[in-house]
Structure 1
């Protein structure tokens, strides 16, 4: 039951920069059996994808991102995780997010409350969870999408994946704003050349440390894989999880019987 769409396309689907949008449905369709997916609430929280599919015959749920996780997306993912736990289907997270939505409207809409519901669902899920870092994996989005801190059974990265607290340019811009505000309080006029040099330095540091091979060297994943091998890797991991469940010990609960 191989995908109808060519997995070789995975090399070209992910953009070289995380700022460029990508429809993760196209990625999923090249990983699952017959390229057949059943999407959960496609019009609600549309930037968060929740789909049912099969890989090598294993029924699974897949959660992925077409942008930041907003209030509706966090709610949808929470319900989907609970549903997969009721069905007993393993969950696969394909990370491609800059994190949870920020801003006044989002915060007043309950982003912290609803985001924490998703975190709680990920933490307490009773089915095997497997994570692939496909693109951006920034900030709390790394946690909410079952990053290393939430102990998925397996976690792999694609070569172009980026893992960081935030994007390099966002971090540099934040530091620049803080530095300029500090100088303004002291009555000092910022030197544009010096500020640009600081900006470039921060960008370079973040870009280097966010690289998949750098983070993999810190054992923040179980290895960097070729995107074209993702289906085979996931199939092996799902087989391993199924074998582990079949070999789960069944302790005896009987008391000592008198003769």
Structure 2
């Protein structure tokens, strides 16, 4: 008596689940959402394969992706001339209003402050936020430190962590280091998180990690007064690149449930529309708590 229904296979199980849901009058208590007309994007989604380069190090404008996903390819760009490497704006997908945050490279101090303010605006307006994540991380170096990257970067991460509206993340390229956190990675518990097959996720890129480890190893050998074996050093670098590049693949990440699945980039609009619809319904569907346990046979 521990099972209520018996399915012959997965397909039959899905059929039974749909039949059960059809018999439950859950939707009768939901307010009817007024029909809202919307326009399809002006640009074909099939072009996404040509917009996004295979090599994550090659720059491109994330607005080209947005133009092929949102209604009428219309983005109200927020502070377009400030913090230009971080793109924020208001748009709609199948009539669902939302805020969009995307990357055009590393996140700098201005981009962090801009994103933090935009997240707070979305929370005040009670609209969900969609993150199009493609960044190699936060900007580093003396100039970045003088610009206040630690202060402003922490403001952005604090805003992401405290946002009280649905957040949805789509990995569309690189996801390295703290940039994964700042753009609402898995650790920040977005409602949904999907990835394109070209996505790369790691602490840092393979070549960058290899160079760092080579520098550390050379310094260690010099302190110990030992000679540097260039052949061994190069072999170590190649092994690091091979390992990190392999473990940063989208398939490696999704196999470990670091996301909710890989999607065809051309399906991004459809998937995001479904997610936004689910988030909206979750916010208005009344839930009834139970006061007794489930009695089994």
Give the structure-2-normalised TM-score. 0.83
> Which residue does the alignment assign to 2:96?
58
2:113 to 56, 69, 75: 75
Q: Choose the corresponding residue for 2:64, options 11, 18, 26.
A: 26
Structural mapping, 1:103-114, within 5 Å: 103-114=141-152
Q: Tell me, which stretches of 5 or more residues in structure 1 are unaligned?
A: 252-259
Alpha-carbon shift at residue 37 of structure 1 (Å) = 0.8
Match of 1:168 in 2: 206
Q: For 1:19 and 1:59, how far apart are their aligned partners in 2?
A: 31
- The aligned runs of 1:219-230 (5 Å cut-off) are 219-230=257-268
Cα distance in structure 1, aligned partners of 2:70 and 2:147: 35
What CA deviation, in whole Å up to 9, does each residue of 1:166-218 have, x standing for no partner? 11111010000000111111222212211111101000100011000101111
SS at match of 2:174: strand
Q: CA deviation at 1:22?
A: 1.0
1:209 to 240, 247, 256: 247
Within the candidate set 122, 126, 137, 1:84 is matched to 122
Q: Which runs of 4+ in 1 moved over 3 A?
A: 248-251
Structure with bigger gyration radius: 2
1:45 Cα deviation after fit: 0.3
With structure 1 as the length reference, what TM-score do the two structures score? 0.95
Alignment of 1:1-259 (within 5 A): 1-249=39-287
Deviations 1:14-43 (A, max 9, x none): 111111001000000000001111100011
RMSD over aligned Cα, in angstroms? 1.1
Structure 1 distance, partners of 2:194, 2:286, is 25
List per-residue Cα deviations over 1:142-180 (Å, max 9, x = no partner): 000000000000000100000000111110100000001
In the alignment of these two chains, the number of paired residues is: 251
Which whole-Å CA distance do the structure 1 matches of 2:70 and 2:238 have between them? 41
